[in-house]
Amino acid sequence: MKKILVLGAGGQIGSELTMKLREVYGNGNVVATDLVPERLTQEIQESGVCLPCDATDANQIAKIVSDYKIDSIYNLVAILSATAEKNPMLGWNIGMGALLNCLEVAREYKAALFTPSSIGAFGPDTPLDNTPQDTIQRPKTIYGVTKVAGELLSDYYYERFGVDTRSLRFPGLISNVCPPGGGTTDYAVDIYYAAVKGEDFECPLKKGTLLDMMYMPDAIDAAINLMEADASKLIHRNSFNVTAMHFDPEAIYAEIRKHKPNFVMTYKPDELKQKIADAWPNYMDDSCARAEWGFSPKYDLEKMTVDMLDKLAKRLLK
């Protein structure tokens, strides 16, 4: 059985990925950590080992990997795009610091390493429609710069040292457990909270801003399936395009209004977020992920909306 370490387990992805990993591999085989352990959900805290860990300190990661005989690391530590752009040095130091430490520890202890990349790894020179797997990557944000550098460094560690590094270029992720942490795509989560609470919603992106998105259960399955994939079938590693749907604010608004006809959305574009979103793909080609390891998301906008509204209503309106 795998022995897994999750870094940044208190965040949007970690809150759900950690519990799924415990379901698949056993509660005793998944160590959950975060810089701020109080961020770990009650469910995570009660179901297995939880430890504080600053991923910018390689010794802290190495000690846990050694103590718990870890063979797989899920590194979820980063500062998301909009927040990183307000403090570029922090974005670089956290994103790259954590990754470099993980790569070194993975090399020393022969562990596999999963680190998400993002649609933020693309930029204004990238073909934005049907964005190919292998194409121009010249992002203009510090977040994007760390993602491209991270992809290259992870491939380097695989080629040079044989470290089993794997990665996905996640689109905006929509979830109902942990609120998002300062990204450009956060609006697609926030809109559901507003609709369920009966509040009006001010959209920070303009009408017509198309972006790739994915529901969290599909993102989590994708991460685990990629880490379980037969290495001999992988032509790519760092990092695979993956997407489940793409829409603009009008489309998600219309879908929510099918269930909440009185819900009102207005536009108040945020200059920074709009600039970032305009340079990200409208929709990506994820055929390599489908061909090389069987990526196959289950949720489209319609199905996700039913589930989001249902789960949030049960939690927020009880």
Which positions lie near ligand NAD, rule CB under 6 A?
Answer: 7-8, 10-14, 34-36, 39, 53-56, 76-78, 80, 94, 98, 116, 118, 170, 172-173, 180-181, 183, 185
Render the burial of 62-71: b for 16+ CB within 10 Å, e for the rest.
bebbeebebb
**DSSP for residue 134:** S
**143 in active site:** yes
Residue 106 near which of ligand NAD, ligand AKB, none (CB within 5-8 Å, type-dependent): none
Question: Kind of pairing, strands 117-118 and 50-52?
Answer: unpaired
Least CB distance to ligand AKB at residue 1 (A): 31
SS3 of residue 33 by DSSP: strand
Give the integer Cα–Cα distance in Å for 180 and 178: 6
Compute the C-alpha angle 254/259/265, nearest 5°: 45
Least CB distance to ligand NAD at residue 23 (A): 18
**Looking at beta carbons only, is 53 or 112 nearer to ligand NAD?**
53
Residue 10 near which of ligand NAD, ligand AKB, none (CB within 5-8 Å, type-dependent): ligand NAD
Question: Kind of pairing, strands 245-247 and 172-174?
Answer: unpaired
Residue 76 near which of ligand AKB, ligand NAD, none (CB within 5-8 Å, type-dependent): ligand NAD
Catalytic residue among 74, 143, 157, 187: 143
Non-local CB neighbours of 58 within 8 Å, separated by 6+ positions: 101, 104, 105
Least CB distance to ligand AKB at residue 314 (A): 25
Q: What is the contact surface with ligand AKB in residues (CB under 6 A)?
A: 80-81, 118-120, 143, 171-172, 183-185
Residue closest to ligand NAD when measured from CB atoms = 11
Residues recognised as catalytic: 143
